[in-house]
Structure 1
């Protein structure tokens, strides 16, 4: 049975992939990984490789997409296919550390729950910000983290390398997916990623923000199924 590794993003845990993992689990060995003990992209990538079989399909959301690219950089021959959701490939931008520090410092001083709304609501498409069950699920997920975890994950993100060359050298079936209303990792960035990756398909999801798997679970599942069915004979 093919193994599908699903990597969680910043302040996210298994719940973010819950709908897709349940559905795909009927046909694949699905393993979800979160990153609560590592504070570098290198350590996160090694965590994936330690917990993965010799070859596997790899999907990463947000920070998890950055980790997935680092996994490919280190052990590309083990990755049969790659999916990058609501993420990016560039090195940190000027001023990014300062912008991220505001909420991290608040979480460290006042507790992680104090930043749930300020961090979580902008991650959702505007119309989804008034859906109580979805909003509460995001807030609860943040609440299961801590200021220390948030700080460690932020250190990892601020230490990320540029992954342009990784994308250019991909030789496996690749899915690039983004919510059309993702204000954190916008569609235009994903169009660029799809242009860089030789065997990429681009799927932009309507009425969807950064938390695509939770906001539009069926559309994301359909895209993942399409990706998993792509011919990989050239790999």
Structure 2
């Protein structure tokens, strides 16, 4: 593992993107993404042949692991993580093929397909590599699926569970993801994908698109245009069939669980919040009016308030938490 001592807030403004970059004809090299988007505390660990970007900050009696969603990065937790690190050890990572981490590659350099079995192997290895024996898992979207799936498979290793607009139940893929189920898109996207499409997708995950800061929008675009990412997404999306998941196992989760959801989520139906709460015996849910698919980024203070209250509660054995 190695530290990268750079501070996001002190960097010079990013240069304008060329026409070729804006059209997605060129990709952003991994070294360039590392230079631009690592932060103070950024570290890397080798997992399954990849240089995995993560941040491990804070200290305390409890450990919190935060897992981002599809096409996002550890930066989506910036405000929440920095606040929680005052009282807890907080770890967050860039899942492959996203963020600074990028795709996993086989021995011959071929990009790996990130299906659920591969994610399970990857995340298990990450937890082992950092020596995390027990933790509270906080997951958003795809990261929420990985969080509850890990809790089901490692029931003694998870203290509490927080699901934020989490995936898992059968659903129609959001249009911006579903595009990659079409062969012409999968074939052309690595060589041509205008940033206007990516910007439209990012605006779609916010309840109020006016809240998106220009530098945040730029970050999403450059990560999506990162070297190898679009090819990896083209391999990954056809495997996203939530109808094959056994969500019935959620009834076996005997741990305090908080389900947070944006009422204006256009990617995963808000009705799924009630399904998680119904199946997980000790779950309670909070719906955020006006917020979208990534409430912890759109309104971090609202999420922080509920997260702190949840973590401060003493768990009661086999009895639902009360709002």
Q: For the residues of structure 2 that align with 1:198 and 1:107, how far apart are their CA atoms?
A: 43
Post-superposition CA distance 1:6-53 (Å, at most 9, x none) = 001001111101111000011111111222176022222333333331
CA RMSD of aligned residues (A): 2.8
Q: Secondary structure at the match of 1:88?
A: coil
Residue 250 of structure 2 corresponds to which residue in structure 1? 167
The aligned runs of 1:68-83 (5 Å cut-off) are: 68-83=147-162
Contact kept? 1:15, 1:141, Cα under 8 Å? no
What is the total number of aligned residue pairs between the two structures?
232
* Correspondence for 1:219 among 291, 302, 314: 302
Change (3 A) 1:164 1:14: same
Residue 84 of structure 2 corresponds to which residue in structure 1? 24
Q: For the residues of structure 2 that align with 1:206 and 1:45, how far apart are their CA atoms?
A: 33
Residue 202 of structure 2 corresponds to which residue in structure 1? 120
Residue 209 of structure 2 corresponds to which residue in structure 1? 129
Q: If each structure's helix is expressed as a fraction of its own residues, which one has the higher value?
A: 1
Gaps of 5+ in 1: none
Residue 45 of structure 2 corresponds to which residue in structure 1? none
Q: For the residues of structure 2 that align with 1:105 and 1:118, how far apart are their CA atoms?
A: 21
Q: Secondary structure at the match of 1:77?
A: coil
Gaps of 5+ in 2: 1-60, 97-111, 319-323
User: Is residue 222 of structure 2 the alignment partner of residue 143 of structure 1?
Assistant: yes
Shift of 1:132: 5.0
Residue 125 of structure 2 corresponds to which residue in structure 1? 50
Post-superposition CA distance 1:174-213 (Å, at most 9, x none) = 0111011111112211012111110001011122011211
Shift of 1:122: 1.1
* Correspondence for 1:66 among 145, 148, 162: 145
Give the structure, 1 or 2, with the largest relative contact order (CA under 8 Å, sep 6 or more): 1
User: Which of 157-166 and 219-228 deviates more?
Assistant: 157-166
TM-score norm. by structure 1 comes to: 0.86
User: Is residue 67 of structure 2 the alignment partner of residue 7 of structure 1?
Assistant: yes
Between Structure 1 and Structure 2, whose CA radius of gyration is higher? 2
List structure 1 runs of 4+ shifted beyond 6 angstroms. 94-98
Q: For the residues of structure 1 that align with 2:64 and 2:310, how far apart are their CA atoms?
A: 11
Q: Secondary structure at the match of 2:90?
A: strand
